[in-house]
Chain A
Amino acid sequence: MAEFPSLEWFEAVRQVVNRDGRLHRFGTCDAVMGVKVRDKAFEITFDAFECTGARNIAVADLASTDFYLEAPYETWRDMIENIKKNGAPDRQHTLNSIDFVDPDGFARSDDQTKKDKFYRYGQTFQQFFNASAEIETKFVVPQPA
């Protein structure tokens, strides 16, 4: 069971999504995606048809990613639990929907052309998080009573 957020969790998801070449059918993707959850930051790299790396980074280094996803912890938890429940998100829990309803956006970057990679490769990133349905996740912050 991998704890969210942790490098172990992202690495486990990366292994799943690369296991059967499922990203191949979505086409090529070249992007460095950052993830910010509470005070932790991660960098996930996509190259051609696979997710080639996941690593811990300093929050300040998110600026060097193409874009990074940031949302309250509850939003992350809802999304991951929803994906686990259905194998894929319902329409309210897709990356696109979360980005649309958040006034600041889920995907963030100082460079709009880099941020546009979030939309350009949207199906690839969604597939990455959908792969989390195939691992067991332990949340570091318990669900509020």
Chain B
Amino acid sequence: MADTTAEERATASISDELRRKAESRDWPLPVVAAALQAGVDEALIHEALDAGLTPAEARQVILKRLSGVEKLSMKWARVDTERGIRARPGKKGLTIDDINVGSYADVPDVWPDQTMRPRGSYVKPGTVSMGYTIYAKAEVWADNVGSLYEEAIQRRWAPATDIPWETIAPLSEDRERAMGQLCTALCEYNYMVILALGKWIREVSFGYHEVKLYLSTVLFDAARHFEAFRKRALCNGGRLGVQGVGWQLAPIRDALCYSEMAALVFVLNDSFVQSLYQLGGALGHNEAEARLFTLAAQDKARHLSYGVEHMRYLLEHQPERREEVRRYLQKGEEYLAKDFADDPSSREALAILLGGGLEHIGEGFQKLKTFRARQIQSYLDRVEAAGLDHRGTIWPALAAHQSV
């Protein structure tokens, strides 16, 4: 009979199953044996192994247990959440949609929890409410929201370094003022988006974390656009212009439900702002302006994609709200048309830019008519894509801009 070493004697009490698991995780068997001898339940050691404790962490925890510094509970490792999840990265890396596996992919129509519990984690009784007000999936969801979040992260840009500011060159005073006025209006709009989303993000319950994450990127995009257009206004010997009348911002500020805000921002107003970004990119006086507006247009198109998909989801799942949504759009259209009518600053600045200078402003106004008609056409096409035929119900004062 072979002599047994002290270590072999100490570890002889470890069951075969526990021994195999410990060895597969590179846990030193003497540590496991010490834990058993200290009275740690074998099931708890299994839990610690399954939870992924490293050998070093295991040694630390068990030594504490042996020294009496800390009682080992491990209750946290026994909660009834789905285990063994092994999400795999795809061509885009490990995305937020890739980790929606098994029960973690279950996004309920109504989220029952008022706490900030992450979806799929264990409910801890007695946790206080966070005061969210949105618990219905249809109110915020869009099927593409996870991929849009990833896209926003992947396609980010930095105004300070991604815009070739060195290509900015002096412009005639009229065109510089017009550009400054356009930038002022865009700063104002983006600031409103920041305020609106800041208010609404906190209302969305944690069951829809993809929406919360995505809205955070939109908020950051709006901050980036605010920053970028303010930089453009102040980098070429020009200045900021006059504050707008701001009719279009009032209903966004006053929206009483999320879907109203989303229709106003992500479908109506973003549609018109998207066109302005395209205009800025096409009429850019230099490479910096062309790049700035084109990059902003990429972001804005992403915002529109969420807006349209959200509206489509809402109308499919709560069709009884169709006329309500239409009314939100009409309200926004009414105020937007008031801006067009009452605010000469944007109108005249755009005419100068479109015409190519103050001396061609008449031609610019003609082009502005065509531009407005195209803005409205694109907007109505997006509403239609969302599942709402709105061509005959668009607010009349805005519809009047359809004719060239």
Contacts and interface: CB of A to CB of B under 8 A. Distances in A.
Interface of A: 26-28, 30, 47-49, 91, 94, 96-97, 99-101, 103, 111-113, 115-117, 119-123
Contacts of B370: 103
A98 to B, nearest CB: 9
B302 A99 contact: no
Contacts of A120: 151, 298, 301-302, 305
Of all A-B residue pairs in the complex, the 9 with the closest CB atoms, nearest first, are: A27-B155, A27-B154, A112-B381, A100-B282, A120-B301, A48-B91, A119-B301, A97-B282, A113-B385
Contact of B281 (A48, A96, A116): A96
19 contacts: A28-B92, A48-B90, A48-B92, A49-B92, A91-B287, A96-B281, A96-B294, A100-B279, A100-B281, A101-B282, A111-B385, A113-B304, A113-B308, A113-B309, A113-B385, A119-B274, A119-B301, A120-B302, A121-B298
Interface in B245-288: 274, 278-279, 281-284, 286-287
Q: Which of A94, A96, A101 has the most CB of B within 10 A?
A: A96
B278 A91 contact: no
Contact of B305 (A26, A49, A113): A113
B358 to A, nearest CB: 21
Contacts of A111: 385
B315 to A, nearest CB: 14
A115 B295 CA distance: 17
Interface string B346-357: 000000000000
A111 B294 CA distance: 21
B347 to A, nearest CB: 19
Interface of A is mostly: helix
Contacts of B378: 112
Contacts of A122: 294, 297-298, 301
Given A97-B282, A99-B278, A101-B282, A113 B382 contact: yes
A97 to B, nearest CB: 4
B294 A123 contact: yes
A96 B298 contact: no
A96 B295 contact: no
A122 to B, nearest CB: 6
Interface residues of B, number: 36
B290 interface: yes
Given A97-B281, A119-B297, A112 B155 contact: no
Interface string B138-181: 00000000010011001110000000000000000000000000
B300 A119 contact: yes
A101 B282 CA distance: 8
A18 to B, nearest CB: 13
Nearest to A98: B282
Given A27-B155, A111-B385, A122-B298, A100 B91 contact: no
B384 interface: yes
Interface in B59-111: 90-92
B101 to A, nearest CB: 20
Contacts of B91: 47-49
A103 B373 CA distance: 11
A96 B287 CA distance: 13
A113 B279 CA distance: 19
A111 B284 CA distance: 28
Given A113-B382, A120-B298, A123-B298, 11 more contacts: A28-B151, A28-B154, A91-B286, A91-B290, A96-B278, A96-B281, A100-B281, A111-B385, A112-B385, A116-B301, A123-B294
Contacts of B290: 91, 94, 96
B385 A28 contact: no
Nearest to A89: B290
A92 to B, nearest CB: 9
Interface string B365-404: 0000010000000100110110000000000000000000
A127 B146 CA distance: 26
Contact of B282 (A48, A96, A121): A96
A91 B284 CA distance: 7
B297 A27 contact: no
Contacts of A49: 91-92
A121 B382 CA distance: 18
A91 B297 CA distance: 16
Given A111-B385, A113-B308, A119-B274, A26 B155 contact: yes
Contacts of A121: 298
Contact of B278 (A100, A115, A123): A100
